[in-house]
Amino acid sequence: MAKRRPVGNLLALAVLTVVVQRPMHPYEMASVLRARGKDQDMPIKWGSLYTVVRNLEKHGLLEAVESGRQGARPERTVYGVTEAGRREADDWTRELLSTPLREPSSFEAGLSVMGGLGPDEVAPLLRQRLELLEGQIETERQALEAERGQLPRLFLVESEYALAMREAQARWVRSLLAELDGGTFPDLDAWRAYHRTGDLPPGLAHLAERGGTEEGPTEED
């Protein structure tokens, strides 16, 4: 399951969905995608556009429909989607919708290494995050409200989801902060000590040890 995509970059999916509507040359794809704000919904790097289009063509998902120059502009190639491309786009979309993936965010990574900083440094950092988060939420909520009149719900769903996730994150950060500030977070002192001395509290030594397959007579345990 989850067969490997011939072109894995999500920009490729964006390209396919836009070319399905009408053949285009690459730069136009970029303009349309930008105009629709797709770069908000996917991690799109425009530097990859031409590579991705070339790869799509190589795998028979796109085909050159017309190529020539208009005026003195550099030569441009207009690409159309193939039947295989259409299938790939649909199949990919189905997979994205139906299969939840574990995709750790950078915040999760940050949380998993926050032990390296002391709790008294972590709290202000989280407070800053919360403030920025609240600002973003407000901005997005307004943008969404403004678009609600212009566009059908269908085209706003992904923004609604993003907003809901932001709000959930803010709530979670707020509750962690309350525990840190209120001192109800357990082991605050052990954490402080660990941060100062680098020593884990006794009984947790196995966290730092083992894992390496220590061979030879260097150590016994």
Partner DNA sequence: GTGCGTATACTCGCATACGAGTATTCGTGA
Partner DNA sequence: TCACGAATACTCGTATGCGAGTATACGCAC
Asked if 45 interacts with DNA (CB under 7 A), we say: yes
Among its own copies, DNA, none, residue 52 binds (CB under 5-8 Å by kind): DNA
Asked if 71 interacts with DNA (CB under 7 A), we say: yes
- 141 touches 83 (CB < 8 A): no
Residue 68, beta-bridge partner list: 76
Among DNA, its own copies, none, residue 129 binds (CB under 5-8 Å by kind): its own copies
Asked if 38 interacts with DNA (CB under 7 A), we say: no
- 105 touches 91 (CB < 8 A): no
106/28 Cα distance (integer angstroms): 32
- 86 touches 17 (CB < 8 A): no
Asked if 212 interacts with its own copies (CB under 8 A), we say: yes
Q: Which residues contact 126 (CB under 8 A, 6 or more apart)?
A: 173, 176, 177, 180
Among its own copies, DNA, none, residue 74 binds (CB under 5-8 Å by kind): DNA
Among 162, 141, 143, smallest CA distance to 151 is for 143
Among 65, 68, 85, smallest CA distance to 76 is for 68
Q: How far is CA 105 from the centre of its chain?
A: 7
Asked if 55 interacts with DNA (CB under 7 A), we say: yes
Per CB under 8 A, contacts with its own copies among 146-205 are 151-155, 157-158, 161-162, 164-166, 168-169, 172, 176, 185-187, 190-191, 198, 201, 204
Asked if 89 interacts with DNA (CB under 7 A), we say: no
Residue 51 CB, shortest distance to DNA, in Å, is 5
- Residue 24 carries which DSSP code? B
Per CB under 7 A, contacts with DNA among 170-209 are none
Asked if 26 interacts with DNA (CB under 7 A), we say: yes
Helical H runs in the chain? Answer: 10-19, 26-35, 38-41, 49-58, 83-98, 106-112, 119-148, 157-182, 188-197, 205-208
146/95 Cα distance (integer angstroms): 31
Candidate segments 74-82, 85-93, 96-104, 146-154, binder of DNA by CB under 7 A: 74-82
Candidate segments 46-54, 60-68, 86-94, binder of its own copies by CB under 8 A: 86-94
Asked if 67 interacts with DNA (CB under 7 A), we say: no
Q: Which of 35, 68, 83, 196 binds its own copies (CB under 8 A)?
A: 35
Asked if 14 interacts with DNA (CB under 7 A), we say: no
Chain contacts with DNA (rule: CB under 7 A): 7-9, 25-28, 31, 43, 45-52, 55, 71-76, 212-213, 215
